[in-house]
Structure 1
């Protein structure tokens, strides 16, 4: 909490922050702004720490919600773009700050954001209930729409490859940035010309971010398409990453069939990816999102005030 209180005092760019901070001065260093590696959990925890502490029960923490809202406005204003020709909504980067060139690069890690946006919009209850109780502001509705648009993009990062598994990093075809179509892509996908996957970025580490967002969006919107997308991803994991003798393996290149395996399974595949898939297909009474907050490692924390000690 002391770190968050300190971060509150630092200058930001429309709520966005560089990915590095000096442990000596306590000031941000560099200008690289992104929601991928090294940047993601800052934005995730603004809303999740506030939710975990019981929302309005702790008025001293309203600054976290305000920082989150400001940051999401900054995301919409500075980082959101649409690809061509099919207008997939994606989050890019500002490697040299707001005055530098925009990069149409999106890490798979950024796919945490649809779930976080949805969670911040309804505070964990269903969209239907939130609408019925007039709980959603125009800001909430805008963030929820962005959440759904980004979830589709994250899913298409899977469906556009020949294995049906996403690369570690994707680039998007925008005006002034194109490296041709995707070699080894799924030619039946209508988005094969929107997404560019460079050779060095074609590995898959069994990451959880997309299925995490599908789980949260299914719980909040109750739209069955999120389960359908999750099942397609699960089947691709089963087909291409499952090892006969036990376990699952990361892949070198998701655009090649059969893909080369790395003989390595990150622990987050069991701890997060499969956990979120289990929850996606389980009953909504398991770990309800208005009573539990999942940290960035998928550990559920009871929301303050929702459980009584015996």
Structure 2
């Protein structure tokens, strides 16, 4: 029986900042860089995290489970896939996809850095840093996804920089960002989905409606690009993402909803398909998080988020016959009663956005988050493996169950555990830890192989086959959220850090009366 303490365990020390000597603040460990905290001295964030040996004596059973899974995933990648983007754990070799241009960019290394740091795996962190210093090269002839490279690489590098203070991570993030800027060279300023890192030539996915860019891709750049301007003083990054926001604000939105497709040549919507899952999801997430990251001064972002959520509630959120709350998809004038695993992040988003909601709706949105968390837990609980399918339906007498074979797979996705973590942070209801523990045990039982972790092709089969891919986001997100779920609230507190959509923590920017280069005050 797993212990479910009403209060999270803590293994930190309360110390004065070793540099400034201010009043006691929560420091996770003394900084490894010469015994001082460069993050404090540079005024960039409000917490210092740094690993030291022997930090895990007080870890709970649940924390140790997530820690052990991370160690197995990393060690397997280190042995069999080092330098490749991802790992094929059964074939025991490297793996890559077209989102990285099939080049060896070490995506797993960059994606995992902050999780390693957070867990105190400092030897592994230094191995990753050494590889980045010696091998990470953005001058390769590779056509990459602007979105994926931004959230995984720029987000991962920035988080590693803020946590460790190591300048190499900031330098690499800026180098890569410069390689992405040509993607914005379109008639509208809406970036292409892909860009060649060497030539700067961009294009969109061939499958996208009418040559469109994707809402969740061009709408999920704000957090990282604002931090790039903050760190470098170069206004270009901030101006690029604010131009996107201004363009969207001028456009007519059917029923107040944002379609998933926008043509970067004409500035017109493509197919009228709206989703809070794939193709749309993180656009809404980044509206809320832009407000949070600005120390709640970006009221324009907050208003845009609130208006979008109101339209989502009106047109996409429904209850099933048995009372399960779900978020459907709007396609060509009708609601499709299907919810994706990706959509399950929204439970955490609603909870995160509850404080600051218009009117007296904080309780309403916290409850909505809880209802989405419950529905997504049901999608796990109604499978044989107790792992959630890629998508699940709410019609024809079926609820929270996948119908099509190509929607029954689980590829180590984090969104359900992410929502459990946010709901735990805001409610401390022990059921969220219990549900997370069940998910961790199921992943360890059915997805662990000797060479790492693999997704499974059918969560309704007692004898599933593997897809033979250890996704980089498994180390960046799934295992990070699991570990955080069972850790103290003082580890990466939500009043000081905002997580990008790849779970990379970036500090809240406390600018006071100052403004970013290229911006105007929004106060």
* Same fold, judged at TM 0.5 (above): yes
Change (3 A) 1:194 1:30: closer
The equivalent of 1:164 in structure 2 is 386
Q: State the secondary structure of the residue aligned to 1:213.
A: helix
Secondary structure of 1:171's match?
strand
Q: Distance in 2 between matches of 1:246 and 1:287?
A: 31
* Aligned equivalent of 1:79, options 312, 316, 337: 316
Residues 45 and 194 of structure 1, relative CA distance in 2, 3 Å threshold: closer
- What's 2:508 paired with? 303
Shift in Å at residue 120 of structure 1?
0.7
Deviations 1:54-88 (A, max 9, x none): 113xxxx312111111111111111111112x211
Q: Select 1:47's aligned residue among 285, 288, 296.
A: 288
Partner of 2:371: 149
Confirm whether residue 241 of structure 1 aligns to residue 447 of structure 2: yes
* Partner residue in 2 for 1:127: none
1:222 aligns with 2:422: no
Aligned pairs for 1:98-177 (under 5 A) are 100-122=333-355, 137-173=359-395
Deviations 1:154-180 (A, max 9, x none): 11111110100001011113xxxx1x5
Residue aligning to 1:64: 301
**So what's the TM-score if we normalise by structure 1?**
0.83
Q: 1:137: how far off?
A: 4.0
**TM-score of the aligned structures, taking structure 2 as reference length:** 0.50
Aligned residue number for residue 205 of structure 1: 411
Gaps of 5+ in 1: 124-134, 182-192
Whether contact under 8 Å (1:172, 1:196) holds in the other structure is no
**SS of residue paired to 2:498:** strand
Aligned residues: 271
Partners in 1 of 2:492 and 2:511 — Cα distance?
Answer: 12
Provide the C-alpha distance between the structure 1 equivalents of 2:346 and 2:511, rounded to a whole number of angstroms: 25
- Contact map agreement 2:348 2:422 (CA 8 A) in 1: yes
The alpha-carbon deviation at position 25 of structure 1 amounts to: 2.0
- Please report how far the alpha carbon of residue 306 of structure 1 lies from its aligned counterpart in structure 2 after TM superposition: 8.8
Q: CA RMSD in A?
A: 1.8
SS of alignment partner, residue 235 of structure 1 = helix
Between the aligned partners of 1:44 and 1:92, the Cα distance in structure 2 is 17
1:272 aligned residue: 477
Q: Residue by residue, what CA displacement relative to the aligned partner does 1:17-75 show, whole Å, maximum 9, x if unpaired?
A: 0001111122322210111111001111110011111113xxxx312111111111111
Query: Quick one: structure 1 residues 250 and 196, their matched pair in 2 at CA, closer, same or farther if it must change by over 3 Å?
Result: closer
Consecutive unaligned residues of structure 2, counting only runs of 5 or more, are: 1-241, 513-523
Matched, 1:5 2:246: yes
Q: Is 1:89 matched up with 2:325?
A: yes
Q: Which moved more, 1:108-117 or 1:18-27?
A: 18-27
2: CA distance between counterparts of 1:306 and 1:166?
A: 41
Q: Provide the C-alpha distance between the structure 2 equivalents of 1:167 and 1:215, rounded to a whole number of angstroms.
A: 20
Deviation, structure 1 residue 279: 0.5
Please identify runs of 4+ aligned residues in structure 1 that moved more than 4 A: none
Query: In structure 2, what is the Cα distance between the partners aligned to 1:22 and 1:160?
Result: 40
Q: Which has the larger radius of gyration?
A: 2
CA positional deviation for 1:194: 5.3
Cα distance change of structure 1 residues 33 and 89 upon mapping to structure 2, 3 Å threshold: same
Matches within 5 A, 1:273-292: 273-292=478-497
- Residue 142 of structure 1 deviates from its aligned partner by 1.8
Q: Deviations over 1:109-140 (max 9, x none)?
A: 001101111111126xxxxxxxxxxx984222
